[in-house]
Amino acid sequence: MKKLRAAALLLAVFLLAVLASSLAGCTAEKERYQKVYLDAFDTAITIVGYADSEEAFAEMAEYVHGELIRYHRLYDIYTKYGTLNNLKTVNENAGAAPVAVDEDIMDLLEFSLKAYDISGGRVNIAMGSVLSIWHDYRNTGINYPDRAKVPTREELLAADEHSDISNMVLDRKNGTVFLADPDMSLDVGAVAKGYATEKIAQDLIAKGYDNIVLNVGGNVRAIGAKADKNAWVVGIQNPDLSSDTAHIETIEIEGLSLATSGVYQRYYVADGKNYHHIIDGETLMPENRYLSVSVLTEDAGLADALSTALFNMDFETGSAFAEEFSKSGEAGVFEVMWVLPDGSKRYSDGFEKYIAK
């Protein structure tokens, strides 16, 4: 229920920001349309764009929706879909046999290895054994608050023995994935939505689409600008859900991606303390260094992965990482906003130039 509520809040914040930005954005040539879906990646999905007709927009939106459903099924670690070999199939065959997978699974796993290297191991999809423990405790705490508890240190450390990403063996030639440790499992929650969003955005660009913004559970990807050539204006959700202010910041983006990791998205309460879903790979606990971390860059997959990585770095380490990574030019634009526990904000050097005036 809290996941659906968080998705609805993200959707409301996004629609409010984009609606406000579009009041002066309609043109004689194109009209603004939007579609909302709630059946992929367990989150709210919004597609906003300009098109020559409602039919043309609907055709594009249905393509995006169908692709999101397809990626969701491929990357799902909880559900089987007929004879489809997805990541649940890979996890079920850990230590037993290589699994033949779709090329889009292989691509995601290779991207995840890159994210692991870039982040210094802070984005580790091989932490499924640890994350599944937190998933079970979180579900119990949400559904049965009187039974809410925190995992013991002993069970977390035992699970962490099976989080070595080198035991994920990718055979591109034969199209197979093998988990060499029978007790390991993959969890792509830190990368899948953003990666799928970027893949779909690239498909749309290749097909000649423009003037579109996608929001997949808070992973925002702008394709071009609005039809009037102005940038899209997108709100970053206020992590204080009790506040009357929906946005903690409003930014302008064109051809860029925005991803936010925050304590408000999925959490439960045990002994009066909130435990969110972003687990630090070193402490194996959800740390409370920030209320949220937002990353602005070109690639939605990288934004998704590195917002998680930066959430799990202290500010000095994270700001140094952001500065170095930005200077490397590897990601093009790379800017970060941190929201500290007291609600104050810190920015990377170039972030503030994207704040809407």
Longest dimension (CA), the chain: 64
CATH number at 1-357: 3.10.520.10
Q: What are phi and psi of 48, to 5 degrees?
A: -125, 135
Are 335 and 348 spatial neighbours (Cβ–Cβ below 8 Å)? yes
Q: Over the stretch 38-82, which tens digit does the pLDDT of each residue have?
A: 999 999 999 999 999 999 999 999 999 999 999 999 999 999 999
Cα–Cα–Cα angle for 265, 271, 276, nearest 5°?
20
Cα–Cα–Cα angle for 266, 45, 110, nearest 5°?
75
Distance CA 334, CA 258 (A): 10
Distance CA 133, CA 187 (A): 12
Burial label for 35, CB within 10 Å (0-12, 13-18, 19+), is: middle
pLDDT greater than 70 at residue 26: no
Strand 273-276 relative to strand 267-270, pairing: antiparallel
Q: How confident is the model at residue 18 (pLDDT cuts 50, 70, 90)?
A: low
- What percentage of the chain exceeds 90 in pLDDT? 87
Q: How confident is the model at residue 184 (pLDDT cuts 50, 70, 90)?
A: very high
pLDDT at 288: 93
pLDDT greater than 90 at residue 139: yes
pLDDT at 27: 45
Q: How confident is the model at residue 12 (pLDDT cuts 50, 70, 90)?
A: very low
* 100 CB-near residues (< 8 Å, 6+ apart): 85, 174, 175, 176
Question: Which residue matches tokens 């990288």?
Answer: 302
pTM assigned to the model? 0.91
| CB neighbourhood size of 154 (10 A) | 8
Q: What is the mean pLDDT of residues 129-146?
A: 97
Q: How confident is the model at residue 250 (pLDDT cuts 50, 70, 90)?
A: very high
Q: Over the stretch 122-137, which tens digit does the pLDDT of each residue have?
A: 999 999 999 999 999 9
Q: Of 2-11, 116-125, 143-152, 276-285, which gets the smallest average pLDDT?
A: 2-11
pLDDT at 2: 43
Give the pair of three-digit tokens for residue 165.
Answer: 């990403």
Q: What is the mean pLDDT of residues 94-101?
A: 98
Mean pLDDT (the chain) is 92
Q: Of 13-17, 90-94, 311-315, which gets the smallest average pLDDT?
A: 13-17
pLDDT greater than 50 at residue 28: no
Q: Over the stretch 292-340, which tens digit does the pLDDT of each residue have?
A: 999 999 999 999 999 999 999 999 999 999 999 999 998 999 999 999 9
